[in-house]
Structures are given as C-alpha cells and as structure tokens.
A and B are shown apart, each in its own frame.
Chain A
Amino acid sequence: MAAGTLTAIAGNTVREALRNRVLYTLVFFAVLLIGSGVLLATLSYVERERILQDVGLEAIRFFGATIAIFVGVGLIHKEVERRTVYTILSKPVSRGEFILGKYAGLVATVWLQVTVMATAFAAVVLLAGVSLSFAHLAALLLTALELALLVAVATFFSAFTTPMLAACFTLGSYMLGHLSRDLREIGAASDSAAVERATAALSWILPDLDSFNLTIQAVHGLPIAVHELAVPALYGVGYAGLLLLAAVFLFERRDLR
C-alpha cells in the first residue's frame, strides 16, 4: 500500500472539507454552544464549574459526531455518483487505498475540528477559573477515538449503500452504541435465556461507545488509570480496523456503474 497515495487522497479529502462552508458553520455553532456553557452555568451556583465542563465536553462529542456521520455517510457514495472515483481508480490506486485514504482524510478533518472546539473549551473553562487536568486531555483523546470509530462505521455503510440508508444505519449504531451496556444489563435481568443471549450478542456486535466517555472523570477531577485509556483505544482501533476491512472487501467486489 503506497503511503504517497494514501496521503494524496487523505489530503484531498481534508482540502475539500476545509473549502466546505457547511463545516465552518457547524464548528461555529459548536464554539457558540461551548461558550454558552458560561450562561448555563449561572443557573446553578454550586454546580457552575461542573455544568460548564459538562456542556463543553458534550458539545464537542455531539458536533464531532454530527460531522462524522453526515460527511461520512456520503464519503464513498458521492465519489461514485459523481464519477470522480473513475479517474482515481484508473491510476495505480487500489480500491483499498481509496477507501483508507478517504477514511484517513475524514478522520483528520474531524480531529481538526475537535482541536478547534477543544481550544475553545479550554479558553472558556480557564477564563471561568477552572483548572485543566490530564483527565480533560484523556477525555478529549478518547472522544477523538470515538469519532474515528464512528467515521469507520459511516465509511463501512457508505461503501455499499446510499447516503440515506448509510445515515440511518450509522445514526442507529451511534445511538445504540451508547446503550449497548444497558442492553446487556437488561438482558441479564430478563427471565428469558433467549432474550439474554440476544441482547448479549447485540451488545457485542454494536460498538461500545460509552467506553470512550471520560466526561465524569474529567468534570469531577477523578484519577484515570492507564487501562481506562489503553483498553478503549485498543478496542476502538480493532473495531474500526475490522469495519474498514469489511468496507474494502465489499467495495472491491462492487461494479462501479
């Protein structure tokens, strides 16, 4: 796999995103929401600092997910629909390199926007007199990893379905991914062994997105063990890797009409 090819495709994807005004609008509203945390925090004197941090970190996760899903679901489909993929694949570029390059480009775009939002968050929080800790950094790093996993989900569906279907599946995966632990617990509490097995299977298949959430630790200043970072990171890389392999497998067999 040629690094130059991946870099070229990824770079082009980032360039396209940066020249897309819609993404600037989303980032603007994200920064606005982060800033509005100051206003929301005034509603409570006691929890002011925690509300500020909560709103900020959740805004980063929400807007990051929005960008990841709604740009990601059209990532491959748009290239096929507009036939830009024809001239790319006529060069010595494999379909796998194309998929991975587009994925890397979108992840870089999402992480760029997370960086902008994180900077705004840090500024707002510091101005409010709250100290930043390693826990905040860890929370943001895992948010970035969660979004990379979400982009992998969107890329997978985009490789073989329409943007509408890919959006439904990806959004569904995102929502259920935050409920996978609850699903397992509901199944375990059920009287039916079949229900327990079904919910357990579903919770294994769905991405466990809650494992990437360190907001509580960051907001309450709790210590973070190494495994709380390492395990989700390995899980995210492995899960995203499997999805991308599947996306490449499906895309390679597709007729690009």
Chain B
Amino acid sequence: MRGESPLRPDQRRKLSEPPVIVRVENVVKDFRPGLGLRTKRVLHGISFGVREGEIFGFVGPNGAGKTTTLKILMGLIHPTQGRAEILGHDVRETRFRRHIGFLPENPYFYEFLTGREFLRFYGRLAGLARAECAERGAMLLEWVHLTHAADARLATYSKGMLQRIGIAQALIHDPKVVFLDEPMSGLDPIGRKEIRDLILRLRGEGKTVFMNTHILSDVELLCDRVAIIVKGEIRHEGSSESFLADGEHQSDVVFANLPAELVARFEEEFGLHSAGRGERVELRVPDKRVAEVLQAALSLGAEVVSLTPHRVSLETFFLSAVANPGDS
C-alpha cells in the first residue's frame, strides 16, 4: 500500500540506529613476557561496537584488558589476530587519526611546555595551521577553565589541571571520536564533576566518546551503552537500561513480630537478611509475590516496617559478571 515502509519493524529499528563507527572483531592479543619463551593471552577474541554519538563505557576490573584494547584501537599495540576499525579505517592506518582524540590514563606531558605551547604543538601534529592552532587553543583553554594558566609551564599544573589540558589536546583538532582512559583517575570530587560535565558537553556536540573506566557510578551517570570485559573476554554488551532491566524485579520487605513458622517458611523460600524471634526480619521478595507474602504476614499479626523496591545496580551486575563467567 502506498506510504507504508516495505521493511519489518526490526529492520526499521535497525535503520534508525546510529551507525557503528568503532568496530572490534575477534581481536586476540598475546604477549611474550620475559625472554619470550612463553605466550600470555590477554584478549581472547573480543568483539564489540560503538555507535556514533554515544558515550560508551568499557568497564572491567584491573587487569581485564581494558587498556590493552584501547591501545590496540590507538595503534600503540598490534593485535595478534582479528580486526579493529575506527570510522571505517583499519586502526593500523595513520591519516584517519585526524578525526580521533585520545587521553591516556595518568598522562605525562612535556613539563617544559606552557599550556599554550602544549596545545599549539598538538595542533601542529594534527595538521592545523598556526593561526587555527592559536584560535582553537585559546577556545579550548577557556573551555577547560585554564586560560589563567595558559602561560604557566605544565610542571606547575595540578593533577586536575593536567587532566583538563589533556582533554584539551584530545580536542584540539575537533575530532569526531574521543577516547578517554580512566579520565577520573586521581581526581577529587570537584575535578571529577568537571570532567563529567566536559564529557556530557562532548556528547551534546555530537561527538562519540569511548571511556575506559572501573568507576561504575560514572558509568551509570554518563554512559549510553556499556561493555563489561573480564579476563580478556566480553561478558556483556548493551545499553545501560538493559543492565538495570535484566533480571527479576524484587522488593525488600522488613517485618516486625513475624511468627516463627513464617520465619522458617520465608527463610526456606527467599532466604533472610536477618532473622530472630520477635526481631525484625528482612526479606528480598520477587515483586509478583509481594502481595502474597504481605497477606500471609499480616494475617498472623506481623507488622510491615518498610517495603522498598530493589533494582539491580550496575555494581551488582558487574560483580555478578566478574564472578560468573557463563552467567551475566
């Protein structure tokens, strides 16, 4: 019929999704520590994708392979097998890096340079003309609140200032994709808020942000999609909402004066957080059974102290993914 799309709903949904601009396919990385007689596999054929315009969180415990993956994307490390692409270019190419920016973890910059010289240097490396370097440098210094320190040497900068000037160098050439490795590392709460605001501003400008982190609260606050990596394997990849929506909805119920027979029955069915005759008893009950539990307790004279919905946090999901390889 005229006007109707020939596509199925799932096909229409796929078309409306932003394109994947960072693609990692079956990447394996082996290192040869020491004399090179042994091989240590750090990445076991990982695959994931980052969509245009999103903030993507790459999460994992220390030693999971986050930084190794990021270094492969930056061309600093060569994959043993597999392929990684950014904006359709193999990561081993050079010229497309005009469109990406990178802030490494705990960066060390040339301390002998002033803030202004530092940004000018990186602007020149990115292929900007001198005038453009100066103009964008001044704009970014203001953006990251470092105009007052533009002519001071980086040796005098605090940790937070170095992170901000580091983000500025990552943005000097107005890249489409920005890669941040533990951007909140070592910052105080004010510094972390400033960096979070900067990251949100980047998304507001249509940039794609790839963020390596192990701070789950930042992931919950900032990220549209998340991948969890543990021991060199991707355990889960999806939207932040999908993590929180997964699994059964439950509620925490606290009773007082719960009769002993009910205590025993509920302990067997749901497990107890604390128990004792005449004391408060706390249960975690599936939402669909809350009404039944409340009716049983109230009918035997128990009192309901509190009823609180329990939602799986990313931390809970993360800990589960780390602990249970086949179940996330």
**Which residues of A come within 8 Å of B, CB atoms?**
2, 4-5, 7-9, 12, 15-16, 19-20, 82-84, 86-94, 253, 255-257
Contacts and interface: CB of A to CB of B under 8 A. Distances in A.
Interface stretch (B70-78, B199-207, B229-237): B70-78
B94 interface: yes
Interface stretch (B109-117, B249-257, B293-301, B312-320): B109-117
Contacts of B208: none
Interface stretch (B3-11, B97-105, B265-273, B281-289): B97-105
Interface residues of B, number: 35
Interface string B62-104: 0000000001001111100000000000000011111011111
B219 interface: no
A152 B102 CA distance: 30
B107 A90 contact: no
Given A5-B124, A255-B77, A256-B77, A16 B97 contact: no
A194 B126 CA distance: 54
Given A92-B94, A92-B96, A87 B76 contact: no
Contacts of A88: 125
A132 B40 CA distance: 64
A83 B96 contact: no
Contacts of A82: 108
Interface of B: 31, 71, 74-78, 94-98, 100-104, 107-110, 112-113, 117, 121-122, 124-127, 166, 169-170, 173, 179
A204 to B, nearest CB: 31
Contact of A256 (B71, B98, B103): B71
B124 A87 contact: no
A89 B77 contact: no
Contacts of B173: 91
A24 B95 CA distance: 38
B75 A16 contact: no
Between A2, A84, A90, the greatest number of chain B beta carbons within 10 A of the residue's beta carbon is seen for A90
Nearest to B29: A255
A100 to B, nearest CB: 14
B109 to A, nearest CB: 7
A16 B102 CA distance: 23
B112 A19 contact: yes
Given A15-B113, A92-B126, A93-B125, A83 B95 contact: no
Given A92-B97, A255-B76, A86 B102 contact: yes
B98 A90 contact: no
Given A255-B78, A256-B77, A257-B77, A90 B100 contact: yes
Nearest to B68: A257
B124 A89 contact: no
Contacts of A20: 112
Contacts of B108: 82-84
13 contacts: A2-B127, A12-B110, A83-B104, A87-B107, A90-B97, A91-B173, A92-B94, A92-B96, A92-B127, A93-B94, A93-B97, A93-B125, A257-B77
A2 to B, nearest CB: 7
B109 A87 contact: yes
A16 B125 contact: no
A2 B97 CA distance: 14
A91 B104 contact: no
Contacts of B126: 91-92
Contacts of A89: 74-76
A12 B117 CA distance: 9
Contacts of B166: 87
B110 A84 contact: yes
Between B74, B76, B121, the greatest number of chain A beta carbons within 10 A of the residue's beta carbon is seen for B76
A164 B110 CA distance: 22
Between A19, A84, A255, the greatest number of chain B beta carbons within 10 A of the residue's beta carbon is seen for A255
A13 to B, nearest CB: 10
Contacts of A9: 125
Contacts of A255: 31, 76-78
Given A4-B127, A86-B107, A87-B169, 15 more contacts: A8-B121, A8-B125, A12-B121, A20-B112, A86-B74, A86-B102, A87-B109, A90-B75, A90-B100, A91-B125, A92-B95, A92-B126, A255-B76, A256-B76, A257-B31
Nearest to A88: B125
A-B pairs, top 9 by smallest CB distance, nearest first, are A90-B102, A8-B124, A91-B125, A256-B76, A19-B112, A82-B108, A92-B97, A86-B104, A255-B77
Contacts of B101: 90
A82 to B, nearest CB: 4
A9 B125 CA distance: 8
